[in-house]
Amino acid sequence: MSTVNMKEIQTEQELKEVLEFCYNILGTNNMELYGYDAWHKRFEEGLQPLVYAMKDEKIVSAILGRAENQDSLVIGFVACHENYRKQGITKALLSYFEDLARKKGFKYITLGSEEDAFYEKCGYQVIFQIHDQNIFQKIFYHMPFVMSLSGSIIVILYKLSYPFAQKYFSLAWRKMLLKISLVFYLVPIPMFKYTILSCVHKLFSNPFILNSKKVWSIDLNYAINMEKGNTFLGSDLLLVLLFIFCMGLFSFIIVMKQIKQYVIISHTLSSSVFNEVPQETRDLFENVKQKLDIKQNVSLKYSQIHHTPMTIGIFSPSIILPQDEFEKLDQTHQLYILMHEFIHIKNRDLFINLLALLVLAIHWYNPICYLLYFELRVASELKCDYEVVKDLNDNQRQQYSYLLIELATQDCKERKYSVGFVNNSVAVYVDCI
């Protein structure tokens, strides 16, 4: 079975051969716009993609585009040899054509055709009809915004289904769903949407009902109209831009506050603020580490300036214990605290928190990301609490709840870049326990 080679036209000879192939299939209508001289001029400009596919040492498909302006590209010719149709060649060539269009800076592609199903499967939408012919268009959305929307949909569904999920799904599944939303925020999965839909279409016969007569319109109140060198903003678009500016300012303040706190914590960790840990506490530390099968190198520190237990560090984690508060507790409560911190390390919660902060940095304009950050923190603490108390009796669970409440009264401002025993949502944890 011979392979299909997709190429961009590089020479005048290639252009002549491809145009002859197109004219033989499509005819020679509107030669002023689509004649050889017009295509040769576009070829010399080198601004628009002109591509073709070769199989069995001959041209079997071709797609030629012409630029209307720096953003808009119109497909002039789409031709495929009748013996090579329904083999996926033109669809693959169209994807290759679109990749070139993106690289050349085009924002959307427009074409006219009566073959509705093919272009709808390729992600094109009908924007209007003229002379019984559908005019299709595909917009190259700004990928960060599409990623932001994709992740936000998962977070919103998570919140809407929370009463049901809390009853029927484990903490591990709920936390996993939030982790999946992180992936959608950070990885451009929407780029593979049509590949996924194509696979689904092959597995199931006609799974989607496509309305080929649907006409899409543009709300000019949210549009940017550029005409004759002048730019006009839609009235409602100004409100959208103002909202984005306010969200950006708000997010900048939050991020700068977190950076300030991180610098303070880094300074305290690098200074001589730690005291020697008693051997009894070290023995308990090693016993818990062995019990939970923690292979990672973890250090234990006693501090008099921190007021709650916490874990900091991704590659070389350190468990920081507040010396005065910790020494007042009995050994059972000390065991609970160390187990809680080690479970954070085992679950890689610090790394997940770092990814959540990265999401905030990329999608600063999206308020749903801040909700995700909060939910991940809560889910991480709930998961640790569950792991600690799952083998305890009712009386021991009650003692653990009292311990949470007691430590929650301590100052915990330094906990933005750490994970630890309590935070502001301690009431949720106690209720779940």
Cα–Cα dist 113/129, whole Å: 10
pLDDT band at 399 (very low <50, low <70, confident <90, very high): confident
Three-state SS across 262-291? HHHHHHHHHCCCEECCCHHHHHHHHHHHHH
Most confident among 111-125, 149-163, 201-215, 242-256 (mean pLDDT): 149-163
CA distances from 17 to 27, 45, 51, 193, 361 (A): 15, 19, 12, 34, 50
Cα–Cα dist 53/51, whole Å: 7
**Please, what are the domains in the chain?**
5-106 (3.40.630.30), 272-432 (no CATH)
Nearest one of 265, 278, 351, 267 to 308, comparing CA atoms: 265
User: pLDDT tens digits for 319-371?
Assistant: 988 888 888 888 888 999 999 999 999 999 989 988 998 888 888 888 899 99
Most confident among 2-6, 75-79, 312-316, 419-423 (mean pLDDT): 75-79
* Amino acid symbol at 392: L
Residues 6 or more apart in contact with residue 82 via CB below 8 angstroms: 25
Model confidence, pTM:
0.58
Mean pLDDT of the 134-160 span: 83
Q: Is residue 23 over pLDDT 90?
A: yes
Q: Is residue 16 over pLDDT 90?
A: yes
Cα–Cα dist 42/26, whole Å: 19
Cα–Cα dist 11/344, whole Å: 61
Q: N- to C-terminal Cα distance for the chain?
A: 63
**Nearest 5°: phi and psi at 162?**
-60, -45
* Amino acid symbol at 246: C
Q: Is residue 411 over pLDDT 50?
A: no
Least confident of 7-11, 60-64, 412-416: 412-416
Q: Pairing between strand 72-80 and 108-113?
A: parallel
Q: Which burial class, exposed, middle or buried, applies to 26 when counting CB atoms under 10 A from its CB (0-12, 13-18, 19+)?
A: middle
